[in-house]
Amino acid sequence: MKKLLFNSSILIVILIACNLTVSAQSEQPYTEGPVWQVQFINVKPGMSQLYLKNLSDGWIKQMRAAKEAGLVMDFKVFQSPNASENDWNLMLMYELKNYAAMDGMIEKMKAISSKIFGNEETQHTQAVSRNDLRVLMGGRLTQELDFK
Q: Model's pTM, two decimal places?
A: 0.76
Could you read off the pLDDT of 36-86 as tens digits, one per residue? 999 999 999 999 999 999 999 999 999 999 999 999 999 999 999 999 988
Could you read off the pLDDT of 8-44 as tens digits, one per residue? 566 565 656 555 555 555 699 999 999 999 999 999 9
Average pLDDT over residues 112-137: 85
For the chain, give every domain's residue range: 30-147
Which residues are within 8 A (CB) of 137 and not within 5 positions of it... i.e. 6 or more apart? 40, 41, 42, 86, 87, 88
Reported CATH class of domain 30-147 = alpha beta
Distance CA 97, CA 7 (A): 51
Which parts of the chain fold into alpha helices (H)? 2-26, 48-57, 59-68, 105-117, 120-130
Average pLDDT over residues 117-137: 83
Quote the pLDDT of residue 131: 87
DSSP symbol at 99: G
